[in-house]
Structure 1
Amino acid sequence: MRSAIYLDGSWQRPESPDAIPVFDPYTEASIGSVPECTPAEVGRAVAASRRAFASWSRTPLKERLDHLDAIAQGLRERAEEMARTISEELGAPIVDSRASQVGLSLTGFDGVVSVARGYAFEEEIGTSLVIREPMGVAACITPWNYPLHQITLKVASALAAGCTVVLKPSEVTPFNALLLTEIIDRAGLPPGVFNLVSGSGAGVGEALVSHPDVDLVSFTGSTRAGMRISELAAPQIKRLCLELGGKSAAIVLDDADLEIVVPQVLERCLTNAGQNCAALSRLLVPASAVERAANVAAEAAGAYTIGDPRDESVRLGPVVSSTQWDRVRGYVRAGMDSGARLVCGGIERPAALSHGYFVPPTVFSEVRPEMSIFREEIFGPVLGITGYESEDEAVALANDSDYGLSGAVWSADRDRAVGVARNLRTGQVTVNGGAYNFLAPFGGYKRSGLGRESGRYGLEEFLQVKSLQL
């Protein structure tokens, strides 16, 4: 199926023979390719979605959710196959692929179905009947770092709302999307309700965003790409949901236990080799505790097993590509050149490994706000430690960013931590290591994007509001 795309309820070969190679970031070898679609295929996919929308939008909610339940069941049945596919194309350790890449995708998918089942699509306000109805054709453009999770979250919300979908997955990690499409095909959705096209962002993505019959675009990726999408969508006033970059700060207050907290922050920085838009990549600690925090972080980093993602004992795999490898190591060099103190890690592949796009767990201390490693999203396993003199300065440092996607606060006093969290200009804040809640909204302030995903808030991105004056 890697030579085909999914249009109007069937697998079809695109007109162009052009293909995009896909690489295993551990072996550095090609593991296949996917078609490079043309704007003509994009047009066919959108046309199929537009034809299907009239009937799908009027399909009873229970019937729509029955289809989604069937998709979720199919994913459960092929969960191990999916996890191994993601490990191969992304480089995520197999343990993480099962738990985070596939497990969280299923949890989020089920959460969307649960929310939709109890959602009030109509309500009376005074003499008006307010109706929430589907937006129309949804273009879902997804990233390579959490490929399945982002696909399932968008697609489940769109289909539950009554929208039809054209999906363009990342060309870097596309095989999980093809596997999910097999599952969707077997779930028996009506033709045209779900379509998949493959290709680059510059080619296929831009054609999809610009298409006049696309009513909304749900995109997760870089801020630069989000800006381009905004430009393309502006003439048609399309609705946009953009989940973009991040440079999230973890504030450790002076009453918190560094020995407990710093390893937790490091883990949330290194997860998925740091390729996480919500990674806690800035650690803010009292100035008097910088050296101690650096030592604790270095010790914790040394415990990470690095190697073949297929190995059950590995905790840190390679970054996704040679391009990403060069990018991350460039930031590490910049950090060293700018005067930050390299505590551990660096630009060299671990000595025991002769291949693979590996960046060791890297910790800098004495990071200053003017440095690129403080300000710019690295998207790799790199943590920067900065000291502060007061609680107010800690908040100011955390907010001194173009981004506002996530953050964290730790304190022995929960109320104090919540008070600090309220002052952070970011879409979500973890307090004392609180667990992620799939029913809560996920999205950012500032250059981290527009709109929200997950739960009721994610469903509503795919709905528009009509009022009937009775």
Structure 2
Amino acid sequence: MTRGHFLDGDWVPGTGALTVTDPSTGEPAGAVAAGDAAVVDRAVAAARAAFPGWAARPLDTRIALVRAIREGIARERDALARVLTAEMGAPITFARQAQVGVALADLDALIAAAEAGEPETQVSRSRVVAEPAGVVAAITPWNFPLHQIVLKLGAALLAGCTVVLKPSEVAPLNAVALADLLAGAGLPAGVVNVVFGTGPDVGEPLVAHPDVDLVSFTGSRAVGGRIGALAGAAIKRVSLELGGKSAAVMLPDTDLTTAAPQLVGACFANTGQTCAALTRLLVPAGTEDDWLDAVAGALAPWAPADPRLESTLLGPLASHPQRDRVRGHIQAALADGARLVLGGPETPAGLGSGAYLAPTVFTGVDPAMRLFREEVFGPVLAVTAYRTEDEAAALANDSDYGLSGGVWSADPERALAFARRIRTGTVGLNGAGLDVGAPFGGVKQSGVGRECGSHGIAEFQELKTIMGAPALPAR
């Protein structure tokens, strides 16, 4: 059955269909309607009409509705995990614990931030009021689809905005399930609308629509640049969370036995399809063989396998075209002279027609090679040696991107001092992972703006300064 668009509280059939493919088998997993500019117009009109009423609702009411959405996701956790496994290949255990689990944590942190926030503050002689930005276009990716959807929806709804969501056409089925939950939670009609379709047919008309006030996008650098250009022509606010080529820096006193499994998880989880994945490993010169042995040992349980098995750590790529793109990066690394240690471009045996690749490790990767510079978005690790800590910092920063990074050391203060030298939006020390209560985003070509927690809500607000207003009472 082909699911239609979710417009003004109702499911509306489309004129075409987009088939969703299970990447583990190559077989159809479902289908959604294929939208166009006319459907975008209807969705934006519904969001615009719903905006005044939603923005005027007391914050407590908005919090209660977002909490109801969170409870619905928690009830349907297993079902949502199965949908994610079917449409983008996430191993079922990872889908349950991370894909859905992080979405729940997102909403917990956003609700806590909204409850603790101050919508009005006294600044100098004026009152400053945080108001909703208006109608939001939320365009989300296929790699962590539910997490990215609820991160944008939750923050926008708590800020008082209404939303038109365009999920990735590669993995839209979780958005269908979520829209059903929104209706069940009692969300008023028109507050959230979901339009399915491709970037040219739906994404571009949505970004350029004159009644859209703000665009929040997560995805590739190329598409982010296009969205920025379209939004800039209309002087429209954008929040862009784009790609990364993040470095894991192992300082000389790092314990290999502890750090190697942490590094493997940070690189290969979600089959390497994570914007903040640590895909460049920087190690002290002369220790490369030790690190390669440690990484190989830590990768032993990561053989690609059926994502429906509870024991699987590495599933297929999210689509066959994505598998082919990653294979092209591997072949380019070989052509550039990087030394292949594990894996390679071949399809692993015994897995049928799924979009699988083995975890792949290269060493001898230098800054002139494409593998050092280009985001692969797959299960590929590049190892580079450094001679001094100054060189390690220079290598870590030698990137057009600046989304994430990691530093390992036996001395936490030493790790912290080095982290301050890395120009990225986030850095994890000694394996520390995502903190959804703290701001997440990048610098350089990794994007603009921040998501998560109070900073995520602020992305969907405008500040109004009221001069001469009565002073707020002292707290």
TM-score w.r.t. length of structure 1: 0.98
Larger mean CA deviation between 459-468 and 332-341 belongs to 332-341
Query: SS state of the match for residue 346, structure 2?
Result: coil
- Higher mean alpha-carbon deviation, 349-358 vs 237-246, is at 349-358
| Residue 260 (structure 2) pairs with residue 286 (structure 1) | no
Where in structure 2 are the equivalents of 1:266-305 lying within 5 Å? Answer: 266-305=264-303
Instruction: Output aligned runs, 1:19-418, within 5 Å.
Output: 19-418=17-416
Amino acid in the other structure paired with 2:369 = M
Cα deviation for residue 63 of structure 1 reads 0.6
**C-alpha displacement of 1:338:** 1.2
**Contact kept? 1:243, 1:444, Cα under 8 Å:** yes
Q: Which moved more, 1:398-407 or 1:300-309?
A: 300-309
Does the Cα contact within 8 Å between 1:367 and 1:384 map onto a contact in 2?
yes
User: Is the 2:2–2:17 Cα contact (8 Å) retained in structure 1?
Assistant: no
Aligned to 1:437: 435
Give how far 1:291 is off.
1.5
Supply the distance in 1 between the matched residues of 2:374 and 2:43 (Cα, whole angstroms). 36
**Contact 1:153–1:454 under 8 Å retained in 2:** yes
Q: Look up the SS of the partner of 1:324 in the other structure.
A: helix
Matching residue of 1:450: 448
CA distance in structure 2 between the aligned counterparts of 1:108 and 1:335, rounded to whole angstroms: 36
Q: Quick one: distance in 2 between partners of 1:250 and 1:2?
A: 43
Q: CA deviation at 1:146?
A: 0.0
The Cα RMSD (Å) is: 1.0
| Structure 2 Cα separation of the partners of residues 349 and 298 of structure 1 | 19
Contact kept? 2:218, 2:242, Cα under 8 Å: yes
Distance 1:315 1:434 in 2: 19
TM-score (norm 2): 0.97
Q: Is the 8 A contact 2:25 2:352 kept in 1?
A: no
CA drift of 1:32 comes to 2.1
Q: Is the 8 A contact 1:105 1:149 kept in 2?
A: yes
Distance in structure 2 (CA, Å) of the matches to 1:112 and 1:296? 38
Give the residue type in structure 1 aligned to 2:454. Answer: R
Q: Is the 8 A contact 1:241 1:449 kept in 2?
A: yes
- Using the TM superposition, give the Cα deviation of residue 337 of structure 1 relative to its aligned residue in structure 2, in angstroms: 1.5
In structure 1, C-alpha distance between the alignment counterparts of 2:448 and 2:96, rounded to whole Å: 30
Could you list the per-position Cα deviations for residues 310-365 of structure 1 after superposition, in whole angstroms to 9, with x for gaps in the alignment?
11111100001111111111111111121111111011122232221111010111
Deviations along 1:192-233, one digit per CA (max 9) or x if unpaired, are: 111000000111000000000000000000000000001111
Report the secondary structure of 2:287's partner residue. Answer: helix
- Deviation track 1:260-287 (CA, whole Å, cap 9, x = no partner) reads 2122112111000000000000000001
Alpha carbons 2:271, 2:379 under 8 Å: kept: yes
Moved over 3 A (4+): none
Give the partner amino acid of 1:288. G
The 8 Å contact of residues 303 and 359 in structure 2, kept in 1 or not, is answered as: no
Distance 1:3 1:383 in 2: 38
- Calculate percent identity across the aligned residue pairs: 51
2:127 is paired with a residue of what secondary structure? strand
Q: Secondary structure at the match of 1:288?
A: coil
In structure 1, the residue matched to 2:11 is 11
